[in-house]
Amino acid sequence: MQFGFWSVVPPLLTIVLALVTKNVFISLILGIFTGCMILSGGAVFEGVNATFYSFIHTFESNGNTITLVSFLLIGALIYLIEKSGGIEGFTEVMIKKRALIKSKRGANLFTWLLGIIIFTSGSLSCMVTGSVSRPFNDALKVPHEKSAFIIHATSTPWCVLFPLSGWLASLIGYLTAGGVAEEEAISVLLKSIPLNFYCILAVFGTLAVSLFNLNFGPMRRAEKRAEETGALDEPGHESTLSESGGAIGGAKPRAKNMLIPMAALIVTILAVLTITGNGNPTQGAGMQSLLWGCIVAVLTISVMCVAEKLFTVDGVISEMFRGMGTMLPVAGILLFGFTMGALVKELDTGNYLTSVFMGLLSPALLPALSFLLCMLLSFSTGTSMGTMAIMSVICFPMAISMDISIPLVAGAVFGGSIFGDHCSPISDTTIMSCATSGCDIIDHVKTQMPYVLCMAGVSLVLYVILGFAM
């Protein structure tokens, strides 16, 4: 059955509601309900019933279920690492290196490197990097605006470029929700990483700023203020946010409690990818490798906790479930995104948009347009994952129908979605970066905006060029 314009209404309504309400959950569920109403021909009871069952049908896909389970396991892993003293122990080890840092440039580079090391979660990266680096940065008179900029740029942008964590599950999930075959998703994701220009520029552009002291605009004034007056914030703009390093509990600081489980996660993922890919990791089973990696890592930290007599077996299990609970909001976004993807596919939205789009614009502009729309939505809502969940089910089916490079469009969608997480004042990582660095939120957004707009502008130009070239 052809639904024509009505096939566009659910995703379009979702986008508009997300922009207006700033609430991705409400926007997605109302979009899903609208889609079910259209499919049921306007029958209210059938539409409501179909809405409830659409979430149940989402679990019929092994890939969707593995993604959600992996996310919960990642939550348990990070929580157990924190409770066992792993993060605190790693922090203490890094602080002992303070004698090696004797200049602003050294402090900036240390902050950048620490952000690269903490790759499992954008929020965790902001918390650990900010808490550990702040004593160095404050002692060497690094303005809080510069600290927040470096901390933020090495959080979610790096997690997307190096997704050996829960991000692997989510990014593969968004690809499959958009119509990419499960057996091809890991390959498409790997090919999209070098095409994610915004995240590449954010991470390595910040390194260049740190190395060569490339300060301009409001950031230059902040550096001048700190140099001449010693004030790390604008007068009267000191942050009122509390630091969010997080209490570890009564356990002794043990760096190994973070390093060993994370090593187990990475090694297992790579090993399973290699085995299932017959020696070629890019051809391996991405979802299977992630599930194995999460299970082995959680088992590793659980055994360590029991062996160190931090918890009993029952205690470890209880802590695992508490940790899983911390990931429920993200898992919810993924569940809603998967459900919306299935509805959009059933409504044949991708083919309808393709027919309209090709009559108005060149298909080669799809990557650039996807990047722009994701930038707008993510900045307005402050969520990267919510934007990916909404836009992936629109952009990827169009790329498939138009025979446009899916990795290129994926790089545009993922990079554009990270833009808002990186610079929106309502983003959770913006708040965390400011809390741990001591920076005022508006000062952080104002001083980093010239940098991120330059990065976004260069990315947009590259997507226009490659859209015609690939």
289-347: per-residue pLDDT in tens? Answer: 778 888 999 999 999 999 988 888 998 999 999 988 877 876 787 788 778 778 877 88
The whole-number average pLDDT for the span 60-65 is: 80
Of 384 and 91, the one with more pLDDT: 384
The whole-number average pLDDT for the span 273-279 is: 83
pLDDT of residue 240: 47
The pair of three-digit structure tokens given for residue 330, joined into one six-digit string: 């993200």
The whole-number average pLDDT for the span 159-185 is: 84
- Distances, alpha carbon 114 to alpha carbons 122, 264, 267, 453, in Å: 12, 20, 21, 25
CA–CA dist 160, 380 (Å, integer): 20
pLDDT of residue 94: 59
Q: Report pTM.
A: 0.72
pLDDT of residue 192: 95
The whole-number average pLDDT for the span 224-251 is: 67
Percent of the chain with pLDDT over 90: 25
The whole-number average pLDDT for the span 235-240 is: 65
- Assess contact for 354 and 398: CB atoms under 8 A: yes
Residue 352 has pLDDT above 50, yes or no: yes
pLDDT of residue 208: 94
Q: What is the DSSP letter of 163?
A: -
Cβ atoms < 10 Å from Cβ of 466: 18
Structure confidence by residue, pLDDT tens digits, 188-213: 999 999 999 999 999 999 999 998 88
Structure confidence by residue, pLDDT tens digits, 425-444: 767 788 778 877 888 888 88
Of 351 and 395, the one with more pLDDT: 395
pLDDT of residue 244: 39
Among residues 430, 382, 276, the alpha carbon closest in space to that of 22 is found at: 382
Chain centroid to CA 464: 24
Structure confidence by residue, pLDDT tens digits, 391-424: 888 889 889 888 899 999 999 999 999 998 788 8
Q: In b/e form, how buried is each residue of 264-293, taking b as 16+ CB within 10 angstroms?
A: bbbebbebbbbebbeeebebbbbbbbbbbb
- Distances, alpha carbon 201 to alpha carbons 193, 268, 384, 455, 462, in Å: 12, 30, 17, 6, 12
pLDDT of residue 290: 74
pLDDT of residue 5: 82
Residue 245 has pLDDT above 70, yes or no: no
pLDDT of residue 299: 95
Q: How high is the mean pLDDT of the chain? A: 83
Residue 37 has pLDDT above 60, yes or no: yes
Structure confidence by residue, pLDDT tens digits, 95-151: 565 555 678 888 899 899 888 887 766 766 776 787 677 777 887 889 999 999 999
Would you put residue 213 in left (φ > 0), alpha (ψ -120 to 50) or beta?
left
- Assess contact for 470 and 462: CB atoms under 8 A: no
Confidence of residue 367 (pLDDT cuts 50, 70, 90): very high
Residue 6 has pLDDT above 50, yes or no: yes
- Assess contact for 343 and 39: CB atoms under 8 A: yes
Residue 277 has pLDDT above 50, yes or no: yes
CA–CA dist 141, 315 (Å, integer): 44
pLDDT of residue 75: 82
Which of 13-17, 94-98, 132-136, 240-244 reaches the highest mean pLDDT? 13-17
Place of tokens 């947009």: 460
Among residues 451, 443, 400, the alpha carbon closest in space to that of 425 is found at: 443
